[in-house]
Amino acid sequence: MDYINDPRFQGLKPFENKIWLSSPTMHGDEQKWVDEAIRTNWVSTVGENINVIEEQVAGIVGRKYALALASGTAALHLAIRLCAEKLYGQPPAGQGSLAGKKVFASNMTFAATVNPICYEGGTPVFIDSEYETWNMDPKALEKAFKKYPDVKLIVMAHLYGSPAKIDAIRKIADRHGALIVEDAAESFGASFQGAQTGSFGDVSILSGNGNKIITGSSGGFLLTDSEEDASRVRKWSTQSREAAPWYQHEEMGYNYRMSNIIAGILRGQLPYLEEHIEQKRQIYRRYKEGLKDLPVTMNPFDEKNSKPNYWLSCMLIDPKAMCRTVRGDKDELWISEQGTSCPGEILAALKSYNAEGRPIWKPMYLQPIYRNQDFVVAVKGQKVLDVGADVFRRGVCLPSDNKMTKEEQEKVIRIVRSCFE
């Protein structure tokens, strides 16, 4: 559809410079530490930048140890393996640490939260979300334990920077003797009841991916309070080399350590964490104000107990304001109708004006690779709630780049509003 010449968008011109969903924001300090690594020739997986960033991240989150790794996914993999070996022991050679075991996992998240379960031979059982935060529903989790009482591992994520109901999830886990891997990749700097996300899991992780609130272009961190666990992860991440004069290996290892170059970028980024959060918060507030008379709501959070980092501002269209739409695995169709819209139309309109949005994460149990895995939903009265699929159908991630000016955001708001006219 030609949105540029659509009369609903009269007078609007495409952005000269693309408005991104969430792009890296560099400040110049990053170059100082990268140059220092190059000048001193510490460009591999050891160096002062790594030492400093590990100490600083651990201090911010409130953990004793932060292990700098190549990515958030690498951190998740080692966190899941660490917990699995605590629960089930070291597996035989060639067998994953979760072989034959089920693991409860967030349903509405990026695939990186779940894939490492399968790296270790486990089977994910997906737990539905709840509407209050879009995160793992404690009621559905409790129901899952009734169905699978032998499960001992939970992998849960904080979606779009909004903390989950981690207090309730922790109580359930403790009652069933289960460990928690906390995926705080999207929520660095967010807090729940005064404590930072990343501090609640038995093992937790952060991400420094290019679109995150603090970035090294890549990189991630595994967070723990155990010196023994930190030592094991450090060893695994450097190919599990033993303390011998030759290359000796007695267990599986990986090339997962962060480089000193990436750590230098993160070292320069870290002082700007609170500034980035405030910029994202202002973006969220402007969307909430600018769209308040439309049949939409913004992505929710627990205002009493949590402080998000507002990584992405997302919008949920009221059911009665959804235009007729249908989605396949890779394509979708919709019919534009006055007073209604849908995520596909809004994203297409934004794209035509050179702005980037994104659909809400497609729930894991709807992904072709995971369609045969079990999925547990909560029950409200006689109504079975499939919250993740509903939010995916009606939700859209709006441009949330913290370099977007107020005037540019006002134009984005006008584009969204025009879709409902």
Does residue 58 carry a pLDDT above 80?
Answer: yes
pLDDT, residue 379, reads 85
pLDDT at 93 over 90: no
The domain in which residue 114 lies consists of: 29-271
Same domain? 371 vs 307: yes
Residue 380 has pLDDT above 90, yes or no: no
139-195: pLDDT as tens digits: 999 999 999 999 999 999 999 999 999 999 999 999 999 999 999 999 999 999 999
CA dist., res. 399 & res. 410, Å (int) = 11
Residue 29 backbone zone (phi > 0: left; psi -120 to 50: alpha; other: beta) = alpha
Do 287 and 348 lie in one domain? The reply is yes
Residue pLDDT, tens place only, 273-313: 999 999 999 999 999 999 999 999 999 999 999 999 999 99
Residue 222: strand, helix, or coil: strand
Residue 116 has pLDDT above 80, yes or no: yes
pLDDT tens by residue, 315-344: 999 999 999 999 998 999 999 899 999 999
Residue 335 one-letter amino acid: I
Q: Is residue 67 in some structural domain?
A: yes
Tally of domains within the chain: 2
| Three-class SS state of 35 | helix
Are residues 280 and 253 part of one domain?
A: no
Q: Using the 3D structure, point to which of 212, 237, 271 is the last residue of a domain.
A: 271
5 pLDDT exceeds 90?
no
- C-alpha closest to that of 60 among 169, 164, 198, 238: 198
Residues 144, 214: one domain?
yes
Both 12 and 130 in a single domain?
Answer: no
d(CA 301, CA 362): 20
- Whether 212 sits among the annotated catalytic residues: the reply is yes
Q: For residues 70-90, give the mean pLDDT.
A: 98
Angle made by CA atoms 30, 211, 216, in degrees to the nearest 5: 30
At a CB cut-off of 8 Å and minimum separation 6, what does 410 contact?
Answer: 286, 290
What per-residue confidence (pLDDT) applies to 383?
80
Question: From the candidates 101, 139, 152, 212, which is the catalytic residue?
Answer: 212
Determine the Cα angle at 359 with ends 354 and 364, to 5°: 150
Contact (Cβ atoms closer than 8 angstroms) between residue 205 and residue 184: yes
CATH number at residue 236: 3.40.640.10
E strands, 225-380, are 296-298, 306-307, 314-317, 325-327, 332-334, 358-359, 375-376, 378-380
State whether 261 and 278 are in the same domain: no
pTM: predicted TM-score of the whole model, two decimal places: 0.97
Please report the sign of the dihedral spanned by the C-alpha atoms of residue 341, residue 342, residue 348, residue 352. positive
One domain for residues 47 and 17: no
